[in-house]
Amino acid sequence: MPFSQLQLELDERAAAGLLRQRRTLERPQQPHIVVEGKPYLSFCSNDYLGLANHPRLIAALQEGARQWGAGAGSAHLVNGHFSPHQQLEDELAAFVGKPAALLFSTGYMANLGVIQALTGRGDTVFADKLNHASLNDAMRLSRAHVKRYRHNDLVQLAALLAETHTGRKLVCTDAVFSMDGDAAPLPELLALCEQYDAWLYVDDAHG
């Protein structure tokens, strides 16, 4: 394909106001930021607890780099799984009262890995229509059948669960929906999953 065709598509997206561009921050991630020389109050950061610039975390990061270097050098399953990784997994597992935990580099990778491990062909994933894009990608890659229900609509979800009788069933939802800021009714979702013998998968990135 000639590059002129790609440029035409980019021009069409720009004309429709759909061409996304990155903004360069000139100071650390904080409530007050500077973008292209102008000061702003930021409402779009995921650093809800203000930990990105916490002195203790910065010191721990520096000490970790001094002791262990700045990269693992390999995948976890080869020879990139170090004792600090294992210690963190053990502490996380103990915190939630489970026998084990598994680290992923990003929330996106966690969703892709876990949902594909839990479901496959012959299974069904039930998804809130306002789920994060990473959940949608994970469901497609799992090759499971996907049934979407209206946002936080427990009645429609119950009907979809009731009509599904084969394979594993996984209800997939954000805990807090990042675009709207509202929360999923988790106790009610869990009750439906128990009633219809389904698993509940919650992405709590914004919870």
Report d(CA 50, CA 45) in Å as an integer: 10
Please tell me the predicted confidence (pLDDT) of residue 154.
98
**Two tokens at 100?**
């084990």
pLDDT in tens, 35-59: 989 999 998 888 888 899 999 999 9
pLDDT in tens, 133-181: 999 999 999 999 999 999 999 999 999 999 999 999 999 999 999 888 8
pLDDT in tens, 67-112: 999 988 998 999 999 999 999 999 999 999 999 999 999 999 999 9
- Domain range annotation of the chain: 18-48, 107-203
Report d(CA 41, CA 101) in Å as an integer: 36
Fold designation for 107-203: Aspartate Aminotransferase; domain 2 (3.40.640)
Q: What b/e string do you get for 155-194 counting C-beta neighbours within 10 Å, with b at 16 or more?
A: ebbbebbeebeeeebbbbbbeebeeeeeebeeeebeebbe
Per-residue pLDDT band for 132 (boundaries 50, 70, 90) equals very high
| Sequence-distant (≥ 6) Cβ neighbours of residue 84 within 8 angstroms | 64, 68
| Sequence-distant (≥ 6) Cβ neighbours of residue 62 within 8 angstroms | none
Decide if pLDDT at 1 tops 70.
Answer: no
What value does the mean pLDDT of the chain take?
A: 94
